[in-house]
Structure formats: C-alpha cells, structure tokens
A = this chain, B = another copy of it.
Amino acid sequence: MNIQVVNFEEKFAMISELHSYKVIAQMNDCHFKLVRMKREFIWHSHPETDEVFMIIDGSMQIDLRDRTLTLKQGEMVVIPKGIEHKPSSREECKILLIEPAGTINTGNAGGNLTDVELEWI
C-alpha cells in the first residue's frame, strides 16, 4: 500500500512551469492538484462538479458575475457547480485545487488554455 505524506513546498519545488497542473494525491474519485498561477484566466464553469481552490502561498482573485473574491494563504473557497468564475493573479500564486478526476481546467469554455496532460508528481 503506497501511503505517502505529501509536503506542498517540496512538491511545488518540483514544478518548473507556470500553469501546469500536477496531481499530488487522490481521495476516492477526487484529484488534489497543484498549480503555480500568474495570469488572468477565462470565464468558465464546471456544470458537473463543485471545485475547491486552496491557497498555499500568495494570493489570487476569483471574479464571480456579481462580485470578486480575494483569497490569500490559509484560505479556501468552494465554487459550486455551474457557477461562472474567472480566476486571476498578478503575482505568482501557489494553489491547491480539489475536484473530481477528469475535471477540465477550462470547464465548459474550452479553448487553447485547456490543459489536457495531467502528470502526477
């Protein structure tokens, strides 16, 4: 049985590129994914699932259609399924995403920011 303690800082040190999602753990059908973000993402939603953003380092914004959320280290939010959102960060933000395996980063929007190759680290 492969039971490994995951250290976020050590895992982030293994990620050289921005915007490359890396799977670090799976709980039942859910993937835990790390990403280093520094960009304005696109409006999208996930019609089939809720999605968790947890900030490991830095800060980010998530625009909703009626307001903007600001998250910093030590904070998380659940974006409910079907809710349009647009994540962004001016400075690099280290994020833990929790969502079912197979969830696409661009959700219903598609397009050339879609990250199709998910690597475990």
Partner-B contacts on A (CB < 8 A) = 1, 3-9, 25-28, 30, 32, 49-52, 56, 64, 69-71, 74-81, 83, 98-100
Whether A78 and B27, one on each chain, are in contact in the complex, defined by CB atoms closer than 8 angstroms, is yes
Q: A6, A9, A26, A78: which has the most chain B beta carbons within 10 Å?
A: A78
Number of copies of this kind of chain in the complex: 2
Q: Which residues of B contact A30 (CB under 8 A)?
A: 27, 30
Whether A5 and B52, one on each chain, are in contact in the complex, defined by CB atoms closer than 8 angstroms, is no
Q: Which of B8, B78, B99 contacts A75 (CB 8 A)?
A: B8
Whether A76 and B3, one on each chain, are in contact in the complex, defined by CB atoms closer than 8 angstroms, is no
Q: Which residues of B contact A71 (CB under 8 A)?
A: 5
Using A30-B30, A98-B98 as known contacts, say yes or no to A78 and B7 having CB atoms under 8 A apart: no
